[in-house]
Structure 1
Amino acid sequence: MRAMMLATAESCTGGWVGEAVTAVPGSSNWFDRGFITYTNEAKQEMLGVSAATLEQHGAVSEQTVREMVSGALTNSRGQAALAISGIAGPGGGTLEKPVGTVWFAWGFAKGTVTSERRYFSGDRREVRRQAVECGLQGLLERLKGGCDGQD
């Protein structure tokens, strides 16, 4: 049986998830590719995130990460995908979306997309580190929990 392939779509983590994944020996057997989409234009061009979603909800939103994870699945050989978008700081936060706000989405080619918002504290590096850890942990939990839509 062939391993399930993973694709990632990262914004605030800037490829850190891909770095963590490829540090694992043998990851070429299950990691297809990572999209680093830091700008809104990159999210639109590489993942198909709609301009209307970005304009209405912003880059750091549930709607955006759900479109990012769907785009990662569509534009890769992945059967599983993780998307992350957040505000790592020190600037860029608002009252509605303070520094440390990070949205995650996990998707599976034969299943549903789930999403979650988390708030992390610390400096820019610490917020990003926690986002990478949370994203990968969430992926593992969903794989173990059977959220991939596989029978």
Structure 2
Amino acid sequence: MSSPGSPSSSAAEVVALLTVRGETVAVAESLTGGLVAAEITSVPGASKVFRGSVTAYATELKHELLGVDATLLAERGAVDPQVAAEMAAGVRKALGADWGIATTGVAGPDPQDGQPVGTVFVAVDGPPTTEPGAALGGKTAALRLNGGRAEIRMESVRSVLALLLERIAGEQTGNERAQDTERNGGF
């Protein structure tokens, strides 16, 4: 059984929320190498919400399969917050999902693109929102993780699922406020 805050419990919550909402998710992964998709698809009923995934481990595949800007990749490398955001938007579009989530970073043992081990960026792209700081329905988080390769990868999985849940919850809160305002005569 999974403990609260574990990737499996977060994945179950993602599947439950998206099922209720009638929405879907697609995953773009680099450093996690398919672990996010595996977590989501380990949940019974995931087939109702999971569209698919792209594991773009090689930098050129981020451009070729996910539409990440080639100049951005050439100038900043694959470990960058804008790359994560473009991966999430790209997989959402490519696989026709309501939500796209992405991971990119350095799990180790060596630094990559001038970034130290434990540097990770996770991103969510979804429907447009009025949430402050979330342009065009997207949200990115920068992580500095400690531990070995396995710990960094699993914490990245947990973090991207948590970011998706936060983004969905933020949207629900906004919708509930709008409905409450409507019920109360616009006040």
TM-score (norm 1): 0.91
- Greater share of strand residues, 1 or 2? 1
> For the aligned residues, what is the CA RMSD?
2.0
Give deviations 1:1-41, integer Å, cap 9, x for gaps.
Answer: 76210001000000000000000000000010111000111
In structure 2, relative to structure 1, the CA distance for the partners of 1:52 and 1:93 (3 Å cut) is closer
Aligned position for 1:142: 167
Aligned position for 1:80: 99
Q: 2:138 aligns with which of 107, 113, 118?
A: 113
In structure 2, relative to structure 1, the CA distance for the partners of 1:102 and 1:14 (3 Å cut) is same
Q: 1:6 aligns with which of 10, 16, 25?
A: 25
Q: 1:89 aligns with which of 100, 108, 111?
A: 108
- CA–CA distance in structure 1, aligned partners of residues 21 and 88 of structure 2: 22
Maintained 8 Å contact 1:73/1:109: no
- CA–CA distance in structure 2, aligned partners of residues 90 and 28 of structure 1: 35
Identity of counterpart residues, as a percentage? 36
The within-5 A match list for 1:2-151 is 3-93=22-112, 97-111=115-129, 112-146=137-171
Maintained 8 Å contact 2:110/2:116: no
Q: Which structure has the larger Rg?
A: 2
Q: Following TM superposition, by how much is the alpha carbon of 1:129 offset from its aligned partner in structure 2, in angstroms? A: 0.5
TM-score (norm 2): 0.75
Q: What SS does the aligned partner of 2:57 have?
A: coil
- Greater share of helix residues, 1 or 2? 2
Unaligned runs of 5+ in 2: 1-19, 130-136, 179-187
Q: State the number of aligned residues.
A: 150
Q: What SS does the aligned partner of 1:145 have?
A: helix
